[in-house]
Structure 1
Amino acid sequence: MKYILILSIIFIFKNRSVGANDIFHYVTEKMSNFVDTIMYTFRNIGDRVSQFFQSHVKIIKSTKGPKKYYKSERSVSTHKPIKFTTKEHTTISEVIPSRHFKKKSEPTSYMTAPQLITLHGRRVESHIVLTEDGYFLTLHRVMTPHVQSSSELRNKTVLLHHGLLGSSADWVLLGPKKSLPYLLSNLGYDVWMANARGNIYSRGHVSKNTNSPDFWRFSWQEMGQYDLPAIIHYIRLVKNTSDPISYVGHSMGATALLVLLSTEPIFNSYLSIGILLAPLAFMVNSQGPLRMFSPVASRPPPLLLQVMGEGEFMPSKETPDWMAFRHCTGPQIFCKNPLLYLTGGVLQEQFWDEGLKNRVLNHVPAGGSTYTILHYAQIAKNGKFHKFGDIIAEFPLNRISLPIALISSSDDWLATVPDVKRLYFGLSNPIDHHVIRNNNLSHTEFVWGPGADILVFRKVIDYLQNGLSLSVIKLNVV
């Protein structure tokens, strides 16, 4: 395959002048197609390369001047997940959506997590935790309104960990009546919310500056290896108790827990139950841009790193136009959002009010490292749950003894049902795999989807209160 690409690039240079972005785009597209289809012949690849660059030059000329929104030739449903395309003949004019949602300013859009919690009428505490490798993390604690004595909270402690490119704010975007931390707080739980290294609340280090690529040389592996141990030890210290903690992790928050429990088995005894929402561990069936990145994830070319960011992942908080509009069909505001672009999530507009849309779009992505994205792309390619850059060093999931419940969705493009099922059978002590079917619940909507309180949170509370009893196992659908 690499020889075909080299010859193709030589052919291009001999016949026309092209930019570096054009060559990079073509190469990554070819690598992606190699995963999902068969190799092209020398003859066809030369013809198709020529056609692509001819059409691309025409597009550049036609889009000079005022910005325009081009009408898609295919119908776009705003209540379905983003669709991605890697067809050879697709042009930008075919995929730029006809509809777009304009982000607006409203009071809660730019509030921090503590400000939102305070606005919602709850008491909140912020705690700073120092990891073994020098990162400062922020924990947000939602205090229970009905319990004044800290001793009463010892047996009902819950740690929530956000997902990919998220933050603690993700858990409270649904407002005072539907957000999971408040539902748990009303039941007497002491709720702690983590912030992974690199997001807007956890950007400190004892010696590294965030402007340095050194600061960002971490993936979800370090979150499980350093962040979670520091957080769990800190909570136990502050509460002055050895009582086990309940854990709810979404997406990357689930990944970090699996790393911790498989590499440091002692932490299995520090927790009472793990509830993993849309867990990312095995990703061979994942769809979307991660599939496009996966062929070169182990050794990303310089041009890819320029696009993704050599330290922080897309620090501009916007997906480049040429990537978003070529591989994504949906409202422009969603395709341009790096997190929604990666996860294929389109807000279901008939259920979302303007305030919720703006809160979500202004709070995510909350920041993260390019290494984190590349690590996920690696396991998507290799079909194994392994360490960064080392396909042989798999995390020993069979060492996890903690009772774990899994929740997945049939409409999730990253944590697919077959992959989550594979995780279920790889664990030593799984208690359930609950599948939410045919509800258009995308990867991100497990936390802030308008129906999350019914589809997801009720089941989470069920597990917390009855999860260790066999009587909780019910019909595995919603």
Structure 2
Amino acid sequence: MASTRPEYNAKINLMSALGPVVYCGNMRSEFTGLVHRFINIFGEGKELLPHSSKLTGCMMSETTIQTCLYYVWKAIGRDPAEFNKTMIPAMLNHLPCGGSSNQLIHYMQLYKSARFCAYDHGKENHRIYGRSRPPDYPLEKVTAPVAIFYTQNDYLNALKDVKRLIKRLPNVVEDHLYPYKKWNHIDMTWGISARRLAHPAMLKVMRRCEAGGPQNGTKLATTVSPVKTANMTTVTVLKAVGT
């Protein structure tokens, strides 16, 4: 919204993006195959996976729970060590989230085109956009501070695509790649170690913004912190200059 309605940038103190799925060209999730099945069955403009039917269906038995989790892992990346079984009801209450089949169609368009652009209406594009192809979202207009946190085993979010997003945004105040090789799309939120290993970095940026910085247009400095444990690799963090 901040790209198409730039006046809203002034209302945002900080956008903390956890595994933001924007560019999809290098996505390795089997989500793409599942989307085709849903679209073929339901068509356009239909509600998919509403809360009540999704939760009831998945929680019927141990078999249905495991079946639902199988498809969740295929979509987001598997990390059994960080999976808290007591969170199954909460997780299946949110994953996969319900929505319109048009949202899934839009994601498929982004995946195939490797662009971040408006919905492709086909022959209606000329009437709606005044051009044959949908326009790219003008991310250079997103001047609000953005902190990006992401992981290495996120099937929805390839590192190459995240780096492309970071280059497009003009005011990234934190570029934080967590160094845990197996962390997936949800480990930053629901992983067993999330509170201890993921959340402190997010809170640090929030407190920094509360204290009066970083501001729009803040420059970035790169710090490289080597980590030497078995389940880690080197992490590169971009921090605001002067903090």
TM-score (norm 1): 0.37
Which string of whole-angstrom CA distances, capped at 9 and with x for unpartnered residues, describes residues 96-137 of structure 1? Answer: xxxxxxxxxxxxxxxxxxxxxxxxxxxxxxxxxxxxxxxxxx
In the TM superposition, residue 367 of structure 1 has moved relative to its aligned partner by 2.1
| Inter-partner Cα distance in structure 1 for 2:105 and 2:74 | 12
**How many residue pairs are counted as aligned between the two chains?**
201
> Which of these residues, 256, 266, 272, is aligned with residue 7 of structure 2?
266
Residues 389/364 of structure 1: CA separation in 2 closer, same or farther (3 Å cut) = same
2:40 alignment partner in structure 1: 305
Matched, 1:459 2:208: no
| Inter-partner Cα distance in structure 1 for 2:92 and 2:79 | 10
Matched, 1:397 2:139: yes
Which has the higher relative contact order, 1 or 2, with Cα contacts under 8 A spaced 6 or more apart?
Answer: 2
In the TM superposition, residue 392 of structure 1 has moved relative to its aligned partner by 3.0
SS of alignment partner, residue 135 of structure 2: strand
1:415 alignment partner in structure 2: 157
> Which of these residues, 73, 76, 79, is aligned with residue 344 of structure 1?
76
In the TM superposition, residue 358 of structure 1 has moved relative to its aligned partner by 3.9
Residues 334/431 of structure 1: CA separation in 2 closer, same or farther (3 Å cut) = farther
1:387 alignment partner in structure 2: 118
1:8 alignment partner in structure 2: none
1:378 alignment partner in structure 2: 109
Residues 263/351 of structure 1: CA separation in 2 closer, same or farther (3 Å cut) = closer
> Which of these residues, 224, 233, 243, is aligned with residue 475 of structure 1?
224
In the TM superposition, residue 264 of structure 1 has moved relative to its aligned partner by 0.5
- Mapping of residues 81-92 of structure 1, within 5 Å: none
SS of alignment partner, residue 410 of structure 1: coil
Matched, 1:288 2:29: yes
In the TM superposition, residue 437 of structure 1 has moved relative to its aligned partner by 2.8
Give the RMSD, CA atoms, in angstroms.
Answer: 3.3
| Inter-partner Cα distance in structure 2 for 1:415 and 1:383 | 12
Matched, 1:435 2:180: no
In the TM superposition, residue 363 of structure 1 has moved relative to its aligned partner by 5.0
In the TM superposition, residue 291 of structure 1 has moved relative to its aligned partner by 3.5
SS of alignment partner, residue 3 of structure 2: helix
SS of alignment partner, residue 407 of structure 1: strand
Does the aligned pair in 1 maintain the 2:27–2:158 contact within 8 Å?
Answer: yes
> Which of these residues, 317, 336, 340, is aligned with residue 54 of structure 2?
317
Residues 383/353 of structure 1: CA separation in 2 closer, same or farther (3 Å cut) = closer
TM-score (norm 2): 0.69
- Mapping of residues 88-103 of structure 1, within 5 Å: none
| Inter-partner Cα distance in structure 2 for 1:400 and 1:471 | 16
Larger radius of gyration: 1
